[in-house]
Chains A and B, each alone.
Chain A
């Protein structure tokens, strides 16, 4: 396990990926909140136009402008078309107004010509931000957290600079693509975090993607296990429940002021059995992750409130900070 947030976030770009449905966006937001809470000027970037962050943080829709949504936490939603216009303006002095390309599906064309160019445009924007400096020479942001494509597409996404520079034989893009590839393969600048659930298929996919990311020359940080079921009973206690049986459970609950009907008492015993199975599986899969990847696992709990709010994100941010031995954003709060 890294020692403190300084070591965990000892990079300039944190790339957060994971299999669909594992809560990648939630984890990216929590990581960014943990970073911002530790005094880092942090930029959270989404590239898939999902508006995942604006929903959870209840802010207006994010767009192609960096805005401060929480103290120290900036947000940006990168769109490939905007990135292309900006790129062309920057390098070729072409003003957006002079373009009539939207009619001709220019981006479809460009991405047909050079597959991976769309990804390259998105990463290119992140690269531009990473290189940007404040007036005193410090980087524009201490940390950029990228909510990246899912594990199925992450390696082609991150390798797009390399693959485009193979297809594109000459021209300025080739040189730029090489610099971007340089940023991605430098462990001091870029680190990938794979988010998983402690379930069989996500763990299998995580192990494969950690290997594929390393193969692609990208440094990988601790695995972040999301929605981990917290232990409510030990294995022995689960056995005790089984031995007691529904009738006795209902009786004791009733004596304590919580009368259970037969169905609820039955459900309680089933839940306990499922819970014990789940905890055993989680432990087994955590071991498997450690053995196969050699990485530490940060476990984020499945929060069981009736709703999921910004406060829950702070709890997760806090958990991340505490997992590496630091105070989290909740430390100063009542």
Chain B
């Protein structure tokens, strides 16, 4: 299992797809799971991912490449259907107004559902390799916290509170959780309206008896992620903000005892030799005659200066972000002529990833 992670907009999905492509070329039956609602993977692969089942991508390769996208609401619905003790209970949960907004908004839900899907795909045992593209969360750490947070939220003290009949009036709550929470419950009722609290309490009550299952599954997924054959690929672009997130993630993986396959830095400017100096290049450019050939040459020399500066800036920022850390592999994917939007450009990325590895 390979899990790609990193900040938004750094090319995680592209990296996941390219890794899948490389694995298929190496003869493995590979499934790429994307969580990105922007359907970028579909664009690059030229398949429709909106369906329920994985789609096979037509390739001339010894292995196979399949792709699928996580549908949040559907995964959540399936989970409720599967776990609810009765069909009536499942229907009651799905009809609750809180449930309808929960799937897309509760912090950690997205990540939890990804874990759930991952577990199901792994259990199916149909694939040699699963490549999972994580959600573009603001903070990549959310992904690891997801199982804990989801169950934490379901198990929390506030939940206990809500589950008690007559909670909303705050009766007897002072004894249980102290004055602050009582005041809080009254206030929450005042501010948000009682019906909302009732809906919420009803929602949590209808989940009663299902928490154990959630927690167990979250723990199973963590066990799965800790196996040596589950590896994380941290993806970044060579700009400081995503690089900072990449660093946090590398540190966190180490702390959690998870396995890092390596770090991929996408779209890095090529290396340009240190000689001739910027000054020599600029002087040579400035001394060119003002004709097409002269202007062309001056432009080419100035492009060398630009590239050298940007490459220097990018590599320095990468080195600064990685100071003291040693990812098992550090792979630069060069800035390509055009954007990655088809299989052929995806193959170029795959070549950069595997060639450097």
Residues of B within 8 A of A238 (CB): 296, 299
Whether the pair B9, A101 counts as a contact (CB closer than 8 A) is: no
Whether the pair B193, A168 counts as a contact (CB closer than 8 A) is: yes
User: Please, what's the 1-or-0 string for B267-295, where 1 marks a CB less than 8 Å from any CB in chain A?
Assistant: 00010110110001101110110001101
Stretch among B46-54, B67-75, B308-316, B325-333 lining the A interface: B308-316
Residues of A within 8 A of B188 (CB): 109-110, 113
Which residue of chain B has its CB nearest to the CB of A277? B337
Dominant secondary structure at the B interface? helix
The answer to whether B237 has its CB under 8 Å from any CB of chain A is yes
Stretch among B114-122, B126-134, B177-185, B207-215 lining the A interface: B177-185
Which residue of chain B has its CB nearest to the CB of A105? B156
The answer to whether A273 has its CB under 8 Å from any CB of chain B is yes
Size band of the interface chain A makes with B: 35 or more
Please report the C-alpha to C-alpha distance between residue A19 and residue B38 in the assembled complex, in whole angstroms: 11
Residues of B within 8 A of A21 (CB): 7-10, 237, 239, 242
Residues of A within 8 A of B283 (CB): 256-258
Residues of A within 8 A of B296 (CB): 233, 236-238, 240-241, 244, 272
Which residue of chain A has its CB nearest to the CB of B311? A306
The answer to whether B105 has its CB under 8 Å from any CB of chain A is yes
Chain A contacts with B in 77-95, Cβ cutoff 8 A:
88, 92, 94
Residues of A within 8 A of B178 (CB): 100
Residues of A within 8 A of B3 (CB): none
- A258-B313 contact in complex given A100-B179, A240-B293, A264-B273, C-beta closer than 8 Å: no
B247 CB to nearest chain A CB (Å): 14
Binding site for B on A (CB under 8 A): 19-23, 25, 48, 50, 52, 55, 88, 92, 94, 98-101, 103-106, 108-117, 150, 152, 167-174, 199-202, 205, 232-234, 236-238, 240-241, 244, 249, 252-253, 256-261, 263-264, 267-275, 277-278, 281, 302, 304-308
A-B contact pairs, 26 of them (CB 8 A): A20-B8, A20-B10, A25-B241, A88-B187, A94-B187, A101-B180, A104-B157, A104-B158, A104-B177, A106-B184, A112-B102, A113-B188, A115-B106, A150-B9, A152-B8, A152-B136, A170-B193, A200-B339, A205-B38, A233-B295, A237-B292, A249-B297, A256-B288, A257-B283, A263-B273, A264-B272
The answer to whether B302 has its CB under 8 Å from any CB of chain A is yes
- A264-B107 contact in complex given A100-B179, A168-B196, A240-B292, C-beta closer than 8 Å: no
A243 CB to nearest chain B CB (Å): 9
Whether the pair A104, B184 counts as a contact (CB closer than 8 A) is: yes
Whether the pair A271, B307 counts as a contact (CB closer than 8 A) is: yes
Please report the C-alpha to C-alpha distance between residue A21 and residue B323 in the assembled complex, in whole angstroms: 22
Whether the pair B158, A109 counts as a contact (CB closer than 8 A) is: yes
* 4 closest Cβ pairs, A-B complex: A21-B9, A20-B8, A20-B9, A100-B180
Residues of B within 8 A of A99 (CB): 180, 184
Most buried by B among A21, A202, A253: A21
The answer to whether B255 has its CB under 8 Å from any CB of chain A is no
Whether the pair B313, A100 counts as a contact (CB closer than 8 A) is: no
Which residue of chain B has its CB nearest to the CB of A119? B105
Whether the pair A271, B304 counts as a contact (CB closer than 8 A) is: yes
Identify A112's interface contact among B37, B200, B241, CB under 8 A. B200
The answer to whether B86 has its CB under 8 Å from any CB of chain A is no
B262 CB to nearest chain A CB (Å): 20
The answer to whether B153 has its CB under 8 Å from any CB of chain A is yes
Which residue of chain B has its CB nearest to the CB of A22? B9
Whether the pair A232, B302 counts as a contact (CB closer than 8 A) is: yes
Which residue of chain B has its CB nearest to the CB of A48? B138
Whether the pair B181, A112 counts as a contact (CB closer than 8 A) is: no
Whether the pair A258, B8 counts as a contact (CB closer than 8 A) is: no
Whether the pair B297, A252 counts as a contact (CB closer than 8 A) is: yes
B37 CB to nearest chain A CB (Å): 8
Whether the pair A258, B196 counts as a contact (CB closer than 8 A) is: no
B306 CB to nearest chain A CB (Å): 4
Whether the pair B101, A167 counts as a contact (CB closer than 8 A) is: yes
The answer to whether B190 has its CB under 8 Å from any CB of chain A is yes
Please report the C-alpha to C-alpha distance between residue A94 and residue B188 in the assembled complex, in whole angstroms: 13
Which residue of chain A has its CB nearest to the CB of B192? A168
- A105-B310 contact in complex given A233-B300, A244-B296, C-beta closer than 8 Å: no
- A260-B180 contact in complex given A271-B304, A304-B309, A307-B313, C-beta closer than 8 Å: no
Most buried by A among B8, B296, B310, B338: B296
Can you add 11 more A-B contacts, CB < 8 Å, to A201-B341, A238-B299?
A: A21-B10, A92-B190, A98-B183, A100-B179, A168-B196, A200-B339, A237-B299, A240-B296, A257-B284, A259-B276, A271-B300
Identify B287's interface contact among A19, A100, A256, A261, CB under 8 A. A256
Residues of A within 8 A of B241 (CB): 25, 50, 52
Whether the pair B272, A173 counts as a contact (CB closer than 8 A) is: no
The answer to whether B195 has its CB under 8 Å from any CB of chain A is yes
Whether the pair A241, B10 counts as a contact (CB closer than 8 A) is: no
